Chain A
Amino acid sequence: MAIKLLLENAHIEGIRSYDVYRKHGGYRSVEKAFKMTPDEIVEEVKKSGLRGRGGAGFPTGLKWSFLAKPEGVPRHLVCNADESEPGTFKDRYLMEFLPHLLIEGLIVSSFALNSNHTYIYIRGEYAWIVDILDQAIAEAKNNGWLGKNILGTGFDCEIYVHRGAGAYICGEETALIESLEGKRGNPRIKPPFPAVQGVWMRPTVVNNVETLAAVVPIINNGGEAYSKIGIGKSTGTKLLSACGNINKPGIYEIDMTCSVEEFIYSDEYCGGIAKGKKLKACIPGGSSVPILPANLLLKTAKGETRIMSYESLADGGFATGSMMGSGGFEVLDEDQCVVRHTMSLARFYNHESCGQCSPCREGTGWMYKILKNLEYGKGKMSDIDLLWDIQRKIEGNTICPLGDAAAWPVAAAIRHFRDEFEWHVLNPDESQKRNYGLAHYADPIHVPAAVG
């Protein structure tokens, strides 16, 4: 049985309300944390090895310790709830069903970072969740967990929920900060980093919802215990939002030791591919990470079994690996067209580009138009190389990671599914009537024998 830390109580009826949540051990971590010093909490989070759950996987404790502490300047904690990555919906579940878990994590983290004004920046489309969070905050406040002089410790904390207006780019931390300040959500040019100059030029930490919720079990059980779960540098548990052609789409909490194969096919998780079809490809971490064909998804290029951990998913770099990303696990079966899928992702990034820097503003639109031609049977063979060249010129040359996020899916699709693109060019009429199918994408890959 898998370990559950975040979703342990998710099944309990009424857990959304304060009384039930408290009865099941809620807010214990706040009581415990207030007996510690802020530095001890940061140390505990460092010890836990917790990595940012928003996508980049940066160690949270390290991020917290980077926070500048100038005299007399307030510091802020911002919770990034602008979950807009196609395929990722884990934060929504957490906030909708366990709002107090997030509030609890926020109080502990605010205490650790000495943030008296903490913000939750939530995407505008999650309109109903704002009410849930507002109610949870009000309940917490009525019971003395928020406000002035919490539990007689002299620590003041207020949590505010701020709605975004529906822009993917505002999930980028500096764009989020700009938007929170009431400006146009354009990413800032770094440095300075938010840890030095964030909201209103004050030191700021921006963390994902799941990261902040994970602080609760870390304080409750100790960082040491948390770090023992999982494997290598992938400690603790991770929420995955599984979707696509699987029997049981939904949110799963895994401890990052199960194999990808187990995750897809076991009844405990996704329950296999829907309608008895075969697995063709998968995006293991949300739409921005490279897509992998079935053979490379289940086994690494070295022939080892791939497991659902940060390291194993990234094994082989971008040539044969992918990324854990934000945990949006999208599965494509044999009936899906990779060209069409790539096109719809390119359309998304084209639509969501902020328009600030030229490679992303112009390049994303160009890629979308070429992919549209390829998908509708009007493509040329040279378009594939052109696409490759465009993504290469976007990647790494933009202000924020949106450029990379737009380039990687296109690059990976061409890298692994070039045959399918070429088939679209060579068979323009047929490609409009049927899909390329599974082809050889699930065939075992040849593993070169170890040298020596």
Chain B
Amino acid sequence: MSEVQKFKVTIDNIAVEVAPGTTILNAARMIGGDVTPPAMCYYSKLQDSGGKCRTCLVEVSKGSEKDPRPMPKLVASCRTTVMDGMEVKNITSDKVLDARKGVVEFLLMNHPLDCPVCDQAGECDLQDLSYEHGTEKTRYEFDRRTFEKEDIGPYIQLHMTRCILCFRCVYTADQLTNKRQHGILDRGEHSEISTYLSKSLDNEFIGNVIDVCPVGALTDKTFRFKNRVWFTKAVDAHRDCPTCSGKVRLWMRGEEVFRVTARKDQWGEVEEWICNDCRFHKKETKDWVIEGPTKIRRSSVMSQNHYINEVVPQPELINDVIGKNPKLLFDIHSESDVNRPDVDLSKIEGPAHSNDFKKNKPE
């Protein structure tokens, strides 16, 4: 038996060998770290997703070993498959960084920036994206786009103004449920996620659209305004569920289960889809077998106060990226002054207040 031929691809001067048919984005994810382009619409678990948000644009400076010509335009790394000998520039290309900055500006242009009242805040891909790749202010001086409010049922809250039209929820409904009830209506900047006849979404797996939504456009109605995600503690748990795997993540405060979501991997993607029953109706600790606390990225705001990493991870890649000094390597912790490991949330009575995190706490 002959071994499967592997393609060698170089991304930001780091070489990796991948199977033919792998996309540039997935090859970059094998390397990990900052050379991985951000992806707002691509979702590896959803067929046909990707190519729409244009945040993952990269420059292909060498097409392949056979045809070394560079590609004339920046390409969407999530939908472009690698060729043997391909050379890709991501954070080492000024063109890419500039285009990405433009895309972030476009995405934020009509976004309401209502993070202070948005339930997604803290686990929002758009927040992360704009923090890493955006500019401090927008040059857009006009009124932001608004939509008519639409009620899509008792479990899911739709905020169309926050939507970035990644199409993920449409693919989710297409691929997980047997009858999609919502979709994109209208065209251009008026495009909206809607059900057309104000129907409610009621498939038993439809709750997963909340998890795939990169922004706060689709949020959990049963968790709405209950708590900020960074004040809750994530624990992995499971139960014997007749419809789904039952492997979930509980977001708790003390003994109280505030929210149930699917487990997400390091790229923010759902590992296993869960059913509505697990998500919306099992909100008591006795429903679940708790496995233990979830490992959360140190850079995430959700890790604040909960777990202390003994070893501060070193940015290894910076030594490997030859040529340009990558501009994106910094640790959120060096920027933040609210992350105080000594404050234990569960010991605070009532909701936490910003005063609780002040260095010189007024007694």
Contacts and interface: CB of A to CB of B under 8 A. Distances in A.
Interface of A: 167, 169, 184, 189, 350-359, 361-366, 369, 386, 389-390, 392-394, 396-399
B45 to A, nearest CB: 18
B102 interface: yes
Contacts of A351: 188
B142 A397 contact: no
Contacts of B51: 189, 357, 399
Contacts of B167: 356
A356 to B, nearest CB: 5
Contact of A354 (B57, B142, B183, B188): B188
Interface string B172-191: 00000000000110111111
B270 interface: no
24 contacts: A189-B76, A350-B189, A351-B188, A352-B188, A355-B184, A355-B190, A357-B51, A357-B52, A358-B164, A361-B106, A361-B188, A362-B110, A365-B189, A366-B106, A366-B140, A386-B139, A390-B102, A393-B98, A393-B102, A393-B105, A394-B102, A397-B57, A397-B74, A398-B54
Given A358-B164, A359-B106, A397-B74, A353 B53 contact: no
**Which of A167, A353, A361, A362 neighbours the largest number of chain B CB atoms within 10 Å of its CB?**
A362
Nearest to B189: A365
A397 B109 contact: no
Contacts of A184: 183-184
Contacts of A350: 188-189
Given A353-B188, A358-B107, A399 B52 contact: yes
Given A189-B79, A356-B165, A396-B74, A363 B106 contact: yes
A184 B186 CA distance: 10
A359 B187 contact: no
A371 to B, nearest CB: 12
Contact of B189 (A167, A361, A389): A361
Contacts of A393: 98-99, 102-103, 105-106
B120 to A, nearest CB: 18
Contacts of B106: 358-359, 361-363, 366, 393
* A-B CB proximity, top 3 nearest: A393-B102, A355-B191, A189-B51
B73 interface: yes
Contacts, number: 91
A365 B79 CA distance: 26
Contacts of A386: 139
A390 B167 CA distance: 24
A361 B191 contact: yes
Nearest to B183: A184
A364 B188 contact: yes
B322 to A, nearest CB: 27
A357 B107 contact: no
A363 B296 CA distance: 36
Interface residue tally on B, bucketed by range:
20 to 34
Contacts of B50: 189
Given A184-B184, A365-B189, A397 B99 contact: yes
Nearest to A167: B187
Interface string B73-112: 1101001000000000000000000110011011101100
Contacts of A353: 187-189
Given A184-B184, A353-B189, A363-B106, A358 B142 contact: no
Contacts of A357: 51-54
A352 B189 CA distance: 9
Contacts of B107: 358, 362
A436 B190 CA distance: 34
Contact of A369 (B52, B103, B142): B142
Contacts of B109: 362, 366
Contacts of B98: 393
Contacts of B53: 357-358
A397 B102 contact: yes
A244 to B, nearest CB: 27
Nearest to A362: B106
**Which of A189, A352, A361, A399 neighbours the largest number of chain B CB atoms within 10 Å of its CB?**
A361
B170 to A, nearest CB: 10
Nearest to A189: B51
A366 to B, nearest CB: 6
Nearest to B184: A184
A169 B191 CA distance: 14
Nearest to A353: B188
A369 B142 CA distance: 8
A354 B187 contact: yes
Nearest to A365: B189
A275 B98 CA distance: 48
A345 B110 CA distance: 22
B189 A358 contact: no
B54 A358 contact: yes
Interface string B188-218: 1111000000000000000000000000000
Interface in B291-342: none
Contacts of A189: 50-51, 76, 79
Contact of A359 (B103, B140, B165): B103
B116 to A, nearest CB: 23
Contacts of B190: 355
A356 B170 CA distance: 13
Contacts of A399: 51-52, 76
B306 to A, nearest CB: 34
A359 B184 contact: no
Contacts of B110: 362
B139 to A, nearest CB: 6
A26 B52 CA distance: 47
A365 B142 CA distance: 10
Nearest to B55: A358
A393 B57 CA distance: 12
Interface in B58-75: 72-74
Contacts of A363: 106
A168 to B, nearest CB: 10
A390 B142 CA distance: 15
A364 B186 CA distance: 16
Nearest to A184: B184
A364 B109 CA distance: 12
A396 B54 CA distance: 11
A397 B191 CA distance: 20
A351 B187 CA distance: 8
A348 to B, nearest CB: 11
A315 to B, nearest CB: 20
B280 to A, nearest CB: 30
Contacts of B142: 366, 369
A349 B187 CA distance: 12
Contacts of A396: 72-74
B54 A397 contact: yes
A369 B165 CA distance: 21
A342 B189 CA distance: 19
A362 B163 CA distance: 12
A354 B165 CA distance: 11
A388 to B, nearest CB: 12
B103 A358 contact: yes
Contacts of B52: 356-358, 399
Nearest to A399: B51
